[in-house]
A and B are shown apart, each in its own frame.
Chain A
Amino acid sequence: MFEGLSERLSGVFDRLTRQGALSEADVATALREVRVALLEADVSLPVARDFIAKVQEKATGQAVTKSVTPGQQVVKIVNDELTAMLAGDDAEAGRLRVDSPPAPILMVGLQGSGKTTTTAKIAKRLTEREGKRVLMASLDVNRPAAMEQLGILGMRTGVDVLPIVKGQDPIAIARRAKQQATMGGYDVYLLDTAGRLHIDQELMAQVESVRDVAKPHETLLVVDGLTGQDAVNVATEFDGRIGVTGVVLTRMDGDGRGGAALSMRAVTGKPIKFVATGEKLDALEEFHPARIAGRILGM
């Protein structure tokens, strides 16, 4: 269904010679194809636009090296720039700030994005790889059986879960989690929240209050890797209101192109901490910018 960028550009550049520098016109022609490739991969339009402008500047006038065709040259410039943008300059990208116990981690995102599953995956990872004592708490009083879901995942991972007290609101549960984490000598506590729309004023205000109670060291925005153009709205609103420190992209085991990765990175400026690749609780990987860049470009 999708045509990779190389194939797109090979057609465009068949007519061109191998010599000289990339002219402005060559670059413009190529970038029209790049734009389509990015949009087909679900990169949000304004993000694609900015990206193209940046590449345009870099590519124009660049000498076409003898060994490559202009098409390959443009692909390389685009690929390098995309990888660099996805990577950012945050040296700590793949690490969570969980040093001063009990370190709170707040999980937020749209409905069904994968927050509860990812909460359990991160808890498992911190427990097994970093030897942390972890507590998980469900603040989801909306979705039917959300608390039971996290409870079951706690049993499967062997991670402690804050006992369910019916009738408590999310802010009260956050307080109780903080207290339990402090008293119980936990290194980290994860707060799983209900899915919410970024335009739901009431629920957004509620999660702000939760943030103010917990003062999270990490606030992770959990985003479906299959997200389309709405990614830019989601990132803007969640980051603007709550202040995210990182992103987790889920469902990257699918055949989606993952353009949301670039949108998230561009809008929030925050690192993509993890990529989730399945329903199993060990399906959580570190983020590899070059891999995602290749995937977005269909290469």
Chain B
Amino acid sequence: EHGRVLDDAMLNELEELLISADMGVETAMRVAAAMAEGRFGKRLDATEIKSALAAEVARILAPVARPLPLYGKKPQVVLVVGVNGSGKTTTIGKLASQLKGAGKSVVIAAGDTFRAAAVEQLQIWGDRAGVPVMVAPEGSDPASLAFEAMGRAERDAADILLIDTAGRLQNRADLMAELEKIVRVIRKKDPEAPHNTLLVLDATTGQNALSQVDIFRRIAAVSGLVMTKLDGTAKGGVLVALADRFGLPIHAIGVGEQIDDLAPFDPEEFAAALTGLDSRM
């Protein structure tokens, strides 16, 4: 006879599999229990178990898998925010390249006027993507730069303005106030802007991602998520907990350091990788 009976012990193992993928204890228990419904006491083989688990994960994620919406509004202002080192600047480079490839005219504003060589880094990405980058001197006010960049994007009749920001931890009130100001100043120019505020999350991050989304969402009206560094061994399971709690769209994932390494978020693929369904069993 093949397989194993789905009992308490196996349920525990499944929970642990999900916890190891950074789903968090609570969500892992819920997902495992939902999967077990109607299957408890039955004999299942490894593939059947993982498929069922993956299906449950994909079911939760399906409603939030939505590409970055493009509006007719010119310029569509996309503000990119997140904690330090999560991959904001790189994601902007990749995104600029994709949008340009789709026939959009794009302008980038180098709103990180704080970190050493942040501007130089973004200029290289702008060159790679073939997109102009607006810069301001180090230490200058990022809100003013954002404001000016909106003016330029308008004059150039650009379709999309991507605004980079300095990395900041969500518990730093002063830095979050600075971000709030950037949003406020942008709205002076266009009350509907920023049309998208992307929060960039690092897949390596554990449960702190919940606090990141919670606070950035309140301060900067985050409209969607991008998760980077999924080319590593981190599974990014916290996205399941996030989908459950906040329901924010997940627009794309970062799968490398090269310009083409930005992929659409595919719930089924993600769930298969998370549960190990995609690898040897």
Q: Which residues of A contact B (CB under 8 A)?
A: 1, 36, 39-42, 44-45, 110-114, 142-146, 148-149, 151-153, 156, 197-199, 224, 226-230, 233-234, 251, 253-257, 259-260, 279
CB neighbours of A142 from chain B (8 A): 257
Chain A residues in 8 Å Cβ range of B125: 144
Interface centre among B84, B86, B125, B234 (most CB of A within 10 A): B84
Contact partner of A148 (CB less than 8 A), chosen from B117, B207, B208, B229, is B117
In the assembled complex, the Cα of A253 lies from the Cα of B175 at a distance in Å of 13
Mark interface residues in B52-92 (1 if CB within 8 Å of A CB, else 0): 00000000000000000000000000000001111100000
Inter-chain contact B171/A254, CB cutoff 8 Å: yes
Q: Which residues of B contact A39 (CB under 8 A)?
A: 19, 24-25
Whole-angstrom distance between the Cβ of A76 and the nearest chain B Cβ: 23
**How many CB-defined contacts (below 8 Å) exist between A and B?**
133
B173-211 contacts to A (CB < 8 Å): 202-208, 210-211
Q: Does the CB pair A114–B207 fall under 8 Å?
A: no
Contact A112 B85 (CB under 8 A): yes
Cβ-defined contact, B205 with A149, below 8 A:
no
Question: Taking A144-B120, A145-B121, A199-B233 as contacts, is the C-beta distance between A229 and B22 under 8 angstroms?
Answer: yes
Chain B residues touching A, range:
35 or more
Instruction: Evaluate contact between A255 and B207: CB separation under 8 angstroms.
Output: no
Neighbour of B204 across the interface among A1, A44, A152, A224, CB < 8 A: A224
Q: Is the interface of B mostly helix, strand, loop or mixed?
A: loop
Given contacts A233-B233, A253-B172, A254-B171, contact A40 B121 (CB under 8 A): no
B229 contact set on A, CB distance < 8 A: 110-112, 197
B102 within 8 A of A: no
Given contacts A45-B19, A112-B86, A199-B233, 8 further A-B contacts (CB under 8 A): A112-B229, A224-B204, A228-B205, A228-B234, A229-B20, A230-B204, A257-B207, A257-B208
The residue of chain A having its C-beta at the shortest distance from the C-beta of B202 within the complex is A112
Contact present for B169 and A251 (CB under 8 Å):
yes
> For residue A156, which residues in chain B have a CB less than 8 angstroms away from its CB?
116
Q: State whether the Cβ of B214 lies closer than 8 Å to any Cβ in chain A.
A: yes
Contact partner of A227 among B16, B115, B205, CB < 8 A?
Answer: B205
Q: Which of A148, A198, A199, A229 contacts B206 (CB 8 A)?
A: A229
Chain B residue with the shortest CB-CB distance to A256: B208
Partner of B120, one of A40, A114, A148, A227: A148
| B124, A144: Cβ atoms closer than 8 Å | yes
A229–B21 touching, CB < 8 Å: yes
Interface pairs (11), CB distance under 8 Å: A111-B257, A143-B121, A145-B117, A146-B117, A197-B232, A224-B85, A228-B238, A229-B19, A253-B171, A254-B208, A256-B208
Smallest CB separation, B165 vs chain A (Å): 14
B170 contacts chain A at the CB level, 8 A cutoff: yes
Determine chain A's interface SS by DSSP, over half rule: loop
Residues from chain B with a CB closer than 8 A to the CB of A148 are: 116-117, 120
**1/0 contact string of B17-45 vs chain A (CB within 8 Å):** 00111101100000000000000000000
Contacts of A36 in B (CB 8 A): 25
Q: Does B269 contact A (CB under 8 A)?
A: no
Q: What residues on B are CB-neighbors of A44 within 8 Å? A: 20
Q: Let me know if B231 is at the binding interface, CB within 8 A.
A: yes
Cα A72 to Cα B148 with chains together (Å): 58
B84 and A279 form a contact (CB under 8 A):
yes
The reply to whether B86 and A110 contact each other, CB–CB distance below 8 Å, is no
CA distance A252 to B27 in the complex (A): 25
Minimum distance in angstroms from A119 CB to a CB of chain B = 12
Are the C-beta atoms of B120 and A226 separated by less than 8 Å? no
Beta-carbon contact of B205 and A226 below 8 Å: yes
Look across to chain B and name the residue whose beta carbon is closest to the beta carbon of A258: B208
Q: Are B257 and A143 in contact (CB under 8 A)?
A: yes
B24 → chain A, closest Cβ, in Å? 7
Instruction: Report chain B residues within 8 Å CB of A254.
Output: 83, 169-171, 208
Complexed CA–CA distance, A14 and B170 (Å): 36
The answer for the CA separation of A149 and B205 in the assembled complex, in Å, is 24
* A46 to chain B: closest residue by CB: B20
Residues of B within 8 A of A1 (CB): 210-211, 214
Q: Are A224 and B22 in contact (CB under 8 A)?
A: no
The smallest beta-carbon distance between A122 and chain B, in angstroms, is: 16
Report chain A residues within 8 Å CB of B124. Answer: 144-145
CB-CB nearest in chain A for B234: A230
B232 touches A199 (CB 8 A): yes
Q: A112-B86, A143-B121 are in contact. Are A255 and B116 (CB under 8 A)?
A: no
Q: Is there contact, CB below 8 Å, between B121 and A144?
A: yes
From A40, A113, A152, A228, B85 is in contact (CB under 8 Å) with A113
